[in-house]
Structure 1
Amino acid sequence: MIRHITAIQQLSRRTLTSSARRQVENKVPQKQKLFQENNGIPVHLKGGAGDAILYRTTMGLTIMGTVFVIYELVKAALPHKKE
């Protein structure tokens, strides 16, 4: 029984400490070059099309939220007359 427990412990230890099957490439230096380059593009758009879509979506939602809040404030400030 003890042999089985120690065998399971060794097996689990080997699977946890084994090297990674696939090495991940370090992309930080390329990203640093891209974002530190002085090419006139704002830093929040240097990531490409995905950044542009995310920026426009965020701006659109912000504007829609602001308009909705102003609408609700005006509606609350000027209540309807009861007839």
Structure 2
Amino acid sequence: MYRHIQALQQVSRRMLSSSARRQVENKVPEKQKFFQEDNGIPVHLKGGVSDAILYRATMTLTIVGAAYVVYELACAAFPKKKA
């Protein structure tokens, strides 16, 4: 068991080392420029088709959920009478 703990410590040291194997290009300035551009498109839709699909799915689920809550409240407010 001690060997497993020692191996885990060694792996964690390797993972957290400060030397990167490969340098990744910083794309943040490009994204900032793209999303801050004033082209008439709302910022939540500037990501393209995937953003539009996520937005519509979120709005649909929100509306369906709100309608279901109102339905359940109405059912609770007007219970069925026992015969």
CA displacement at 1:18 relative to structure 2: 5.8
Residue 62 of structure 1: aligned partner: 62
CA displacement at 1:33 relative to structure 2: 1.1
* % identical aligned pairs: 72
Superposition TM-score, scaled by structure 2 size = 0.75
Measured against aligned partners, the alpha-carbon deviations of 1:20-47 in whole angstroms (never above 9, x if no partner) come to: 1221111111111111111100011011
| 1:30 maps onto 2:30 in alignment | yes
CA displacement at 1:19 relative to structure 2: 2.2
Counterpart of 2:68 in structure 1: which amino acid? F
In the alignment, the residues of structure 1 paired with residue 48 and residue 78 of structure 2 have an alpha-carbon distance, to the nearest angstrom, of: 45
In the alignment, the residues of structure 2 paired with residue 64 and residue 29 of structure 1 have an alpha-carbon distance, to the nearest angstrom, of: 38
3-state SS of the aligned residue for 1:58? helix
In the alignment, the residues of structure 2 paired with residue 18 and residue 74 of structure 1 have an alpha-carbon distance, to the nearest angstrom, of: 60
Residue 50 of structure 1: aligned partner: 50
Counterpart of 1:82 in structure 2: which amino acid? K
Aligned length: 72
Which contiguous aligned blocks of 4+ residues in structure 1 show a shift greater than 6 angstroms? none
Over alpha carbons, which structure has the higher Rg? Answer: 1
User: What are the ranges of 5 or more consecutive residues in structure 1 without an aligned counterpart?
Assistant: 1-11
